[in-house]
Structure 1
Amino acid sequence: MQPLLFETKTVLQESIFVKEVNVKCLTNPLHFHNEYEMVWMTKSNGRRIVGDSIANFSEGDLIIMGPNLPHVMYNDKEYYESDSDREVKAIVTYFRLDWLNDNFLGANEVGKFNDLLKDIQRGIHIYGKSKTQVVTILNQLLISTGLKRIIHLLSILDLLSGTKEYKCLSSTGYTNPHNQKDVQRIDKIYNYVMNNFTQNISLEQTAAMANMTTASFCKYFKGRTQKTFTHFVNEVRIGYACKLLYNDHLTISQICFQSGFNNLTNFNRNFKRFIKISPSDFKRNLKL
């Protein structure tokens, strides 16, 4: 297995490296690296995990993640079928900011810039007009070289330091608790859940897969992800349920069982826990 502390230094000979992704499906494991990463998903959908955050992503999704922040993206199951004609397209930008010295970062004029960098350490999801503006500058960055490319990157960061149109992904105070062995083990668990969350997932079976007793596994998983295993599974299921609620042909009862829950009471309770409103209200709001 490739090291899950991804080293980008081999490609990051300059301060900024941009690559275009065009593949059938996403296959990278849970990983982190020493550079900042901006991902503009131009074609794809699925679920992403950034730190301790789990969320759906779709075409047009734009996020920026700080160094050493564990993350992974999974496509919907249809992407992995042998006869699938779906594809993934994205623009991924890696960049370093180590050339910004303490004198610059300590200046009064860059207070908001420093606040932005702190938020990016947790990962940020950009939306609204700010996303449109960032994408416009990003397209200019793609065709630029040298100093102009750095100027475009700073323009993006300057724009974001003056807007509220982004949401932090990981929780306040989140730190990467993983070593190399941890990441491989957690990645195996994440993969198992993502492939099986619509079915019954046994805590005992998952613990055995991690070569642990149930009690040890529960303690280990919470220590590494800052949430219980049951919380994690239900969070994934509710995220999937939110996508299904956009389908007018499915009843809430059908969505409940297709998301992996075995009764409506449990489904409704967890939905309100994570989304703060009932499934019925969520579906009703989609029609407003």
Structure 2
Amino acid sequence: MQRLWPFYGRIVMNAHLLHFKDQLTDDFQFKFIRHKGLKFQQSLHMHDYIQIAYVVRGVGNHHFLDKTLTVGKGDLFIIPPLKAHSINTIDGKELEFVLLDFMPAFLGDHLRPFSRSVFHHVTQFEKSGTSSEWLQPWLHISQDKQLLVEQLLQDIQEEIEEREEGYEFSVQINVVKLLILIDREFRKTERQRHQAACQKPQYQQFQDVVRHIHENYGQDIPLEQGAYIANMTPAYFSHLFKKATGQTFVEYLHEVRIERAKELIRLGVHTMTQICFQVGFRHLSHFIRTFKKRTGLTPTEYKKSVMNN
């Protein structure tokens, strides 16, 4: 009989269970998948193995821990065994992501010195008893570390494709490096939240949210993502954000995007459609309407005024 781990609470009965042994084509106990395109639809499913998912570019929806988040470049998930989830594209929007599938035993003893790591808390679920702060539905890799993550993933892919002597060990070491990087990013995020909660006035908790908006305004940034960064419930976050900034979360996001759009218009090297998508709007009509609401001019009128001046 299939054993069900109590750490994960109720099992989602309508989620298909995937077995690791059925995913393999050879004796190498590891699988690498890279998907890129406009269409990718998964039904709700579970694994009996660990899966790491990383968004390389574009936007999509990830359903995990009974929530659906719009995810973008730099978002990463560690999906434990027997936890229902699905990844899906959004109509007309490209999504590129990487999946790493493996059993905890694949890493051998390489993570033993990191007994306090986030990955340890995922792999030792049988002993944990309850979900902890270590099992988070979403982690955003900071912009300065995204290139390093993507290089590690590229190295893993090349090793698997070329299969030169010793490739198994090289893949194993690169996965360990990736997990250490993830752990450090997680700890950094947790420290920032703790400091914001314990040492700063409450409104300063939004500094990380504001920084995230300015660094990622070209991506979809849902309110839930801002709430997660601020370590608040979405409703409480929405209330305090407006109280602290004088604007709703969406209004502030639009302000950042429109200011960047004005800069690009003044440069005069992009079309309005290019600028629209570059600053994070997904429909030209929405961009024009928002631009006029905030500036009193349409983008074209603003461009003419700049040229006249």
Taking structure 1 as the reference length, what is the TM-score of the superposition?
0.51
Measured after TM superposition, the shift of residue 52 of structure 1 is 2.7
Structure 2 distance, partners of 1:51, 1:87, is: 24
Q: Tell me if the contact between 1:30 and 1:71 (Cα under 8 Å) persists in the aligned partners.
A: yes
Q: In structure 2, which of residues 77, 92, 97 is the aligned counterpart of residue 90 of structure 1?
A: 97
Q: Tell me if the contact between 2:44 and 2:84 (Cα under 8 Å) persists in the aligned partners.
A: yes
Flag structure 2 segments of 5+ consecutive residues without an equivalent.
1-13, 123-132, 160-166, 191-212, 219-232, 257-309
Q: Tell me if the contact between 2:121 and 2:134 (Cα under 8 Å) persists in the aligned partners.
A: yes
Paired residue for 2:248? 281
Paired residue for 2:80? 66
Give 3-state SS (helix, strand or coil) of 1:159's partner. Answer: helix
Q: Tell me if the contact between 1:69 and 1:122 (Cα under 8 Å) persists in the aligned partners.
A: no
- The percent of aligned pairs where both chains have the same amino acid is 15
Please provide the CA RMSD for this pair: 3.5
The 3 A distance-change label for structure 1 pair 165 and 57 is farther
Structure 2 distance, partners of 1:61, 1:87, is: 15
What residue identity is the alignment partner of 1:280? Q
Structure 2 distance, partners of 1:120, 1:14, is: 29
The 3 A distance-change label for structure 1 pair 132 and 126 is farther
What residue identity is the alignment partner of 2:181? L
Structure 1 distance, partners of 2:73, 2:181, is: 22
**Residues 34-183 of structure 1 correspond to what in structure 2 (within 5 A)?**
34-76=48-90, 78-79=91-92, 86-99=93-106, 109-113=113-117, 117-118=121-122, 121-128=135-142, 129-144=144-159, 145-163=167-185, 164-165=187-188
| Number of equivalenced pairs | 178
Larger radius of gyration: 2
Paired residue for 2:302? none
Give 3-state SS (helix, strand or coil) of 1:141's partner. Answer: helix
Give 3-state SS (helix, strand or coil) of 2:33's partner. Answer: strand
Q: In structure 1, which of residues 5, 30, 34 is the aligned counterpart of residue 17 of structure 2?
A: 5
What residue identity is the alignment partner of 1:140? D
Taking structure 2 as the reference length, what is the TM-score of the superposition?
0.48
What residue identity is the alignment partner of 1:93? L
Does 1 or 2 have the higher relative contact order (CA < 8 Å, sep 6+)?
1
Structure 2 distance, partners of 1:99, 1:89, is: 25
- Whether 1:30 aligns to 2:37 is no
What residue identity is the alignment partner of 1:70? A
What residue identity is the alignment partner of 2:69? A
